[in-house]
Amino acid sequence: MVQMTGGEAVVQALRHEGVEVVFGLPGVQIMSIYDAFYAQSDMRLITARHEQTTAYMADGYARVTGKPGVALVVPGPGVQNASAALGTAYAASSPVLLLAGQVESFNVGKDRGALHEINDQQDIIRPVTKWCQRAEDVSAIPVAIQEAMRQMRSGRPRPTEVEVSPDVLAMTGEVAFTPVHVPEPVAPDWEQVRRAAELLRAAKKPLIWAGGGVGLAGASRELLALAETLGAAVATTNEGKGAIPEDHPLALGLGYYGHGTPSWAAPQADVILAVGTRLTTQMTGLNAPTAPQKLIHLDVDSTVIDKNYTAEVRLVADARLGLQALLEEVRHETPAPRWPDAELQDMRRLQEQWLQEQAPQQCEIIRRIQSVLSDDTVLVSGVTNVAYWSYFAYCARQPHSFITSSYFATLGYSFPVALGAKVGAPERPVVVLTGDGGFMYALPDLATAVQYGIGVVVVVFVDNALGASKNDQRTRFKGRMVGTELYNPSFAEVARVFGARGLYAEPERLDQALQEALDSGEPTVIEVPIPTWVPPFQIEPRQK
């Protein structure tokens, strides 16, 4: 037991858990935590210009490092500002700890109008966290922080929250730190593994549907090995993009709103192994497996199994251990006849043709982007036209190299998430694809990029519109456009005023501008003028 203030207990508990950086924005109720940072030099404290950015940065950091990201905010408005980012991290199963202030202990739950009060703050936090707790005395602080970390390291990683009142942060108490607990990954049940292996062995056209859980579990190698052993085609969700190198002969790319080769392949498959995915119906457009198709569902979160589709075999396990176990069971088999190569190639060719027909200019832009990016680049795809098309047209070859906002589709998330990703992986290029609407959400954090030397490259596509909504009006509402056009400053000039690099490039010169930006290593905004194009989710899927 040692004596320290509540603020010191917060910082020491984070240190004890190996936290290297905290993304925060101060205010009166959390100043004791700030003061405790003053006395130590092991951890970085990065101040953002909006609480949404603190939590988005924590998310970006978590996505590339696999370690929990930590955000620190005041109660009430600070927590509310951070909540869209927490929702995004929740959708993407990303481990983000929100450290939040509270009103004074004697004011909690009294609805008296205390500074920054929300009467029950955790009511807005609970739906976007896996676990949350208020620490009511100093000794409870490390216990709560350690439990939050344990929660994020076990099973399915999702955000957590710990909140502390300012009087508790200021008082001195006795604290103890127990050894850091890194839970063992969940192993599968062998009986179920054997049943699954039996189905896979007998399959003529096995299909693996891989989600974000594969990358989270570090299971890409096992996924590839199993696919090659089985001769199984591999489809992914947008979160799973990069789980298998997308130029591998067995890779089908991703399914999105009924588009993509997976939507043609899935109905032909006789056995589907879904791994690390909730099998969302809306965004994948996956047709429900129908008899005699068999679904094997492997996920560490038992609640996703049977949620969207009923599984024949349920494997509740860590994706890496689950795939390893399946691999062991099928490894010594003589390979059965598998999905003919020619059929897979045919689907890919048709998909390429469809892409060229539907989005030739976007494909050309993505080709130019791809031509200057190394495989270890982190591409943060925003909620914008070229980014949707990049789901199909960009080739991701590594896990953790393509970031999305999952089913939350949070406009404004991409730039601040990229800032956090670059803090987590400073040696990797980090490139953002954003629209003019989305970039404005966190544009002031260009100052954060400059202040801390965070060299992200932002490609902002300027169509002077909330393009997806405008196109929706064009097609579904007979061209009655209202409230979807935007006035913009020159983004290149704005960037320069902030002290960042600002470049302007027509689409045909984007590759050169991107190369220049990457070579400089500085925070850079590249402004690219485009017309408003049709997004894939406003197009009827093509039947094969």
Ligand X SMILES: Cc1ncc(C[n+]2csc(CCOP(=O)(O)OP(=O)(O)O)c2C)c(N)n1
* Strands laid side by side in the 21-24 sheet: 44-47, 21-24, 69-73, 96-101, 160-164, 131-135
- Among 277, 259, 273, 269, residue whose Cα is nearest residue 227: 273
For residue 436, the minimal CB distance to Mg ion (Å) is 4
**What mask of x and - would describe binding to ligand X in positions 390 to 409, judged by CB under 6 A?**
-------------------x
For residue 59, the minimal CB distance to ligand X (Å) is 15
Whether the CB-CB separation of 60 and 403 falls below 8 Å is answered with yes
Report if residue 527 touches Mg ion, rule: CB under 5 A.
no
Cα–Cα dist 27/42, whole Å: 23
Largest CA distance in the chain: 72
211: tokens are: 């989600």
Residues 6+ apart with CB under 8 A from 110: none
Query: Which residue stretches of 359-460 are H helix?
Result: 360-372, 385-393, 414-424, 436-439, 446-452
Q: Which is nearer to ligand X, 10 or 386 (CB)?
A: 386
For residue 526, the minimal CB distance to ligand X (Å) is 15
Q: Which is nearer to ligand X, 383 or 423 (CB)?
A: 383
- Residue among 81, 88, 93, 410 that touches ligand X (CB under 6 A): 410
Q: Which is nearer to Mg ion, 108 or 387 (CB)?
A: 387
> Which of Mg ion, ligand X, none binds 239 (CB below 5-8 Å, type-dependent)?
none
Q: Which is nearer to ligand X, 59 or 436 (CB)?
A: 436
Cα–Cα dist 478/301, whole Å: 44
Position closest to ligand X via CB: 435
For residue 286, the minimal CB distance to ligand X (Å) is 22
For residue 465, the minimal CB distance to Mg ion (Å) is 5
**What mask of x and - would describe binding to Mg ion in positions 442 to 481, judged by CB under 5 A?**
---------------------x-x-x--------------
> Which of Mg ion, ligand X, none binds 132 (CB below 5-8 Å, type-dependent)?
none
Place of tokens 């009087």: 167
Report if residue 87 touches ligand X, rule: CB under 6 A.
no
Paired with 502 in beta bridges are: 525
Q: Tell me the window of 17-25, 31-39, 44-52, 463-471 that interacts with ligand X (CB under 6 A).
A: 463-471
Report if residue 436 touches Mg ion, rule: CB under 5 A.
yes
Q: Tell me the window of 133-141, 276-284, 342-350, 431-439 that interacts with ligand X (CB under 6 A).
A: 431-439
> Which of ligand X, Mg ion, none binds 398 (CB below 5-8 Å, type-dependent)?
none
Whether the CB-CB separation of 68 and 95 falls below 8 Å is answered with yes
Fill in the amino acid letter for 521: G
For residue 163, the minimal CB distance to ligand X (Å) is 25
Residues 6+ apart with CB under 8 A from 317: 185, 186, 187, 188, 189, 298, 300, 325
Neighbours of 229 (CB within 10 A): 16
Query: Residues in the site for ligand X, rule: CB under 6 A?
Result: 383-385, 409-412, 435-438, 461, 463, 465-469
